[in-house]
């Protein structure tokens, strides 16, 4: 390959790299420079960045515009030590970048700390938006793009990536697949990295759903009555190992809801799901909701009389979660009734504790 002319931009960047080693900007460019020296040392480094790593080219342009005396802290001619003062402009930039990256699914103290350090280094918002793409937390968040890049394929823009995730999840939900089945970020990244489109995901989901539709209607109805729908069965056919824990939890949740209904209590689906996830059995649910049904009407009435509150949620929290605040509320209401009627109470002293002792 013929040796290309190394212009002033090339030499400025190389000189800057030789003099700066500790900042994230320098480390990112150093890594690219080593790659460049190995692959195409005769090329112009600045042009090579623009062609192969456009996000790093933004950082390079910032270095060039700032001059070789960037110093990891001045940026944009603010004079080497510009990062020592934090003003309202910096705070506004931090809030805007926090909101932007949060919309990408990137948040937390570590990322906020990283952004603040970049601002203190004097980096502009455009440079920070480019530099963040070199960080491990970015690569993990958009690991589907990392897979595409390793295969030498074009990556998706942030907007394309997020839209693809949303469309894939919607396709699975539309087919009735249960939440938690191939819909976390790693699952979606695997599909993106393997170049699956949302329409292909929808087609595959429809294929498994079609197999379920061929099942005996009597069997389908019996399963439906137990809270297991066609989407759940399609998920099981597609991947039994991944689907079984979800179906087991859903079935157990249905049994818990039925136990509550038999006691005359209307348990919410979310709460039944939580109890199922905690390993509460059908028999334990029947015992617990039987206890709640026996004491809730009286305690609810007494709470109204004394201007307090006691409801099903509090009773559930005490019986199933051993919640101390809920237990204290019940004891307070019972104690007020005992004091007023010389030990006579609509609910005998400690009855709930006796009925629930050792149950869970």
Question: Looking at residue 103, what is its pLDDT?
Answer: 93
Contacts with 168 (C-beta within 8 Å, 6 or more apart), sequence order = 183, 188, 191, 196, 198, 201
Which H or E element spans position 289?
Answer: helix 282-305
84-92 — which CB contacts under 8 Å span 24+ positions?
Answer: 84/120, 86/120, 90/119, 90/120
Question: Looking at residue 95, what is its pLDDT?
Answer: 92
**Sites in the chain below the pLDDT cut of 50:** 1-5, 21, 68-84, 343-360
SS3 label, residue 214: coil
Contacts with 104 (C-beta within 8 Å, 6 or more apart), sequence order = 141, 158, 162
CB 70 within 8 A of CB 22: no
Question: Looking at residue 206, what is its pLDDT?
Answer: 80
Give the pLDDT confidence of 170-186 residue by residue, as tens digits. 988 888 887 778 778 98
Question: Looking at residue 356, what is its pLDDT?
Answer: 40
CA distances (Å), origin 328, targets 64, 120, 161, 334, 341: 67, 51, 50, 10, 20
Question: Looking at residue 34, what is its pLDDT?
Answer: 63
d(CA 171, CA 161): 15
Question: Looking at residue 205, what is its pLDDT?
Answer: 79
> Tokens at residue 87, please?
């003003």
Question: Looking at residue 157, what is its pLDDT?
Answer: 93
Q: What is the DSSP letter of 122?
A: T
Contacts with 275 (C-beta within 8 Å, 6 or more apart), sequence order = 253, 256, 285, 320
Question: Looking at residue 52, what is its pLDDT?
Answer: 67
Question: Looking at residue 32, what is its pLDDT?
Answer: 67
């Amino acid at each position: 390959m013929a040796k290309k002319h190394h212009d002033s931009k090339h030499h400025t960047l190389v000189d800057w790299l030789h003099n700066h080693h500790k900042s994230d900007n320098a480390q990112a460019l150093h890594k690219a420079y080593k790659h460049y020296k190995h692959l195409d040392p005769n090329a112009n480094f600045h042009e090579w960045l623009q062609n192969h790593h456009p996000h790093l080219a933004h950082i390079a342009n910032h270095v060039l515009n700032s001059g070789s005396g960037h110093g990891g802290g001045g940026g944009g001619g603010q004079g080497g030590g510009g990062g020592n003062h934090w003003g309202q402009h910096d705070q506004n930039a931090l809030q805007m970048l926090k909101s932007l990256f949060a919309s990408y699914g990137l948040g937390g103290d570590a990322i906020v700390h990283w952004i603040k350090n970049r601002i203190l280094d004097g980096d502009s918002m455009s440079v920070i938006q480019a530099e963040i793409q070199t960080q491990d937390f970015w690569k993990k968040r958009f690991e589907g793009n990392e897979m595409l890049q390793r295969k030498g394929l074009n990556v998706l823009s942030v907007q394309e990536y997020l839209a693809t995730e949303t469309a894939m999840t919607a396709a699975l939900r539309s087919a009735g697949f249960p939440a938690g089945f191939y819909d976390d970020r790693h699952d979606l990244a695997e599909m993106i990295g393997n170049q699956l489109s949302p329409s292909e995901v929808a087609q595959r989901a429809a294929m498994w759903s079609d197999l379920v539709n061929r099942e005996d209607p009597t069997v389908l109805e019996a399963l439906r009555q137990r809270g297991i729908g066609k989407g759940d069965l399609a998920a099981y056919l597609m991947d039994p190992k991944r689907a079984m824990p979800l179906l087991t939890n859903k079935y157990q949740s249905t049994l818990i809801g039925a136990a509550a209904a038999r006691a005359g209590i209307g348990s919410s689906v979310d709460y039944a799901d939580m109890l199922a996830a905690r390993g509460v059995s059908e028999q334990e649910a029947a015992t617990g909701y039987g206890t709640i049904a026996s004491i809730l009407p009286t305690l609810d009435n007494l709470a109204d009389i004394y201007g307090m509150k006691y409801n099903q949620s509090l009773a559930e929290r005490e019986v199933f979660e051993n919640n101390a605040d809920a237990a204290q509320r019940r004891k307070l209401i019972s104690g007020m009734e005992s004091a007023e009627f010389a030990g006579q109470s609509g609910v005998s002293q400690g009855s709930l504790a006796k009925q629930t002792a050792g149950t869970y």
